[in-house]
Structure 1
Amino acid sequence: MNATDLRLSPAPNVRSLILGAQSGIGRALSARLSRRRGQLTLACADLQQLDATADTLRPLAKSSIDTHQAQLDDIDSLRRLFERAGRIDHLIIAASAPAPAGPLAELDLDQARQAFERKLWGSIQAVQLALPYLSGNGSVTLTSGIVARKATPGALARTVINAALEASVKVLARELAPLRVNAISPGLTDSDGYHGMEPFARMSALARAGEKLPVGRVGRTDEIASAYLFAIDNAYVTGTVIDVDGGALII
């Protein structure tokens, strides 16, 4: 093993905390991190669903896994979360906030403001509250989306929210250095958000959408999760938005 391998290898017994760990990308990332030695804290608003996720991970886990109820727009729950978790090496915010869609003429601006408050200021609030517990050589990884930079009619609210979040990454990376701050920007992914659809209709819709991408298909949650691991492990990456979108931004 050379010096580069040593720098990029995950340190043993790290303490990671994932907000939004119960489903989709957050669950896939939880599974990947649970196979590393250390302490893994999982948090979301639905504790019952989160406990079910943790129970599926524990048989193969090398980490000890704790679960806590918390959500981005509940400051008291976030305070309790960080107090109970203690020292954190890596904070990952994978929680999402549904935003209204549709053309501007029909857009519910109150709902858009609420979504902006939850995802943008909720994420920043979580980072602020976590600061006393974050190790100086650790990392913060936020979650954006390709609509931040891909003009998509009917997605104004999500565009504004994610573009603001991406802009904050570079500021925070400089302000909080040597703590590293990055964001992952997923493209179209076959995740829990589509599982409410009838299975054949979901598969057909995702297949049609995937055919338009350079890679010829939509993403899988484990593929998105691997990008978070890269941001966590690579100590030379900060102030960066990592696109994992199958080439959506180049078409």
Structure 2
Amino acid sequence: MSAAHVRLSPAPIVRSLVIGAQSSIGRAVAARLSRRRGELMLACGDLPGLEGTAHSLRALAKSEIQTHQALLEDTDSLRRLFDHAGQIDHLVITASAPSPGLRLAELDLDEVRLAFERKLWGSIQAVQLALPYLSRHGSVTLTTGIVARKVTPGALGRTLINAALEASVKVLARELAPLRVNAVSPGLTDSDGYNGLDPMARMAMLARAGDRLPAGRVGSADEIASAYLFAIDNAFVTGTVIDVDGGALIS
């Protein structure tokens, strides 16, 4: 058969799912993925807000975008999500669970348990429920945080949660191979978590914090999002925690 008559098979459709897509980092990951051809599914608890985000992304999107309501701590909503999603090539979980920033003497352990239930067990549960739908050669990318390894008095709850999640990455990468499992560990980021502050106070606080970092500033959500895309794209990366922290761990 001549070259003129060879028919090239169409490229397979890549299907990605972002849980926690309404967070600052989740929106940035969704924005980057939406500019790729494929199918993009976005999930979080705030469906009206998520639909607004999806609407804004569709103007420049090359992907088909769907939205779903799901919470990491709600098993039934996760089951419905995966039933609707079907096959998944890349699962990204960016949902967070704020834990009280208090020292042990003042720490409300019930609040820490709730945060554990959402971020740690919720993330593990989501991966477990997704297993029948995940492509064998796809990827899972979780979200931790630098307090897992950066000694930070007053951050015991967040340290416990993120350290446990980081420890699970290597175990899951071995158990689920060749499915790849990684995590992104963001440092201090200009994110929605500071929306409650006065704008001037927020700018001043982030500037002071950034001055203490080797990078000289705090990160942006888009800079953090680029690490998730690296974890998705690099098929030789698994069992790895990717630090994107402006040098916080060496400061």
- TM-score normalised by L of structure 2: 0.95
Q: Helix, strand or coil: the match of 1:126?
A: helix
Describe the superposition over 1:191-244 as per-residue Cα deviations: whole angstroms up to 9, x where unpaired: 111122111110110000000000100000000000000000000000000000
Letter in 2 for 1:136: R
Larger Rg: 2
Describe the superposition over 1:10-37 as per-residue Cα deviations: whole angstroms up to 9, x where unpaired: x762100000001300001100000000
Which residue is equivalent to 2:7?
none
Q: How does 1:141-160 map to 2 (within 5 A)?
A: 141-160=141-160
Describe the superposition over 1:75-125 as per-residue Cα deviations: whole angstroms up to 9, x where unpaired: 000000000000000000000111122010110011111111111010000
Which residue is equivalent to 1:5?
none
Which residue is equivalent to 1:50?
50
The 1-side partners of 2:45 and 2:23 are apart by: 11
The 2-side partners of 1:82 and 1:72 are apart by: 12
The 2-side partners of 1:196 and 1:27 are apart by: 19
Letter in 1 for 2:221: T
Q: For the structure 1 residues 94 and 231, does the alpha-carbon distance in structure 2 shift closer, same or farther, using more than 3 Å as the test? A: same
Q: Helix, strand or coil: the match of 2:246?
A: coil
- TM-score normalised by L of structure 1: 0.95
Q: What percent identity do the matched residue pairs reach?
A: 78
The 1-side partners of 2:94 and 2:41 are apart by: 13
What runs of 5+ residues in structure 1 fail to find an aligned partner?
A: 1-10
The question of whether the paired residues in 2 share the 8 Å contact of 1:12 and 1:36 is answered with no
The 2-side partners of 1:182 and 1:130 are apart by: 15
Aligned length: 241
Letter in 2 for 1:114: L
Matched, 1:121 2:131: no
Matched, 1:130 2:130: yes
The question of whether the paired residues in 2 share the 8 Å contact of 1:14 and 1:89 is answered with yes
Letter in 1 for 2:42: L
Q: How does 1:27-46 map to 2 (within 5 A)?
A: 27-46=27-46
Which residue is equivalent to 2:250?
250
RMSD of aligned residue pairs (Cα, Å): 0.8
Q: How does 1:80-99 map to 2 (within 5 A)?
A: 80-99=80-99
The 2-side partners of 1:179 and 1:49 are apart by: 31
What runs of 5+ residues in structure 2 fail to find an aligned partner?
A: 1-10
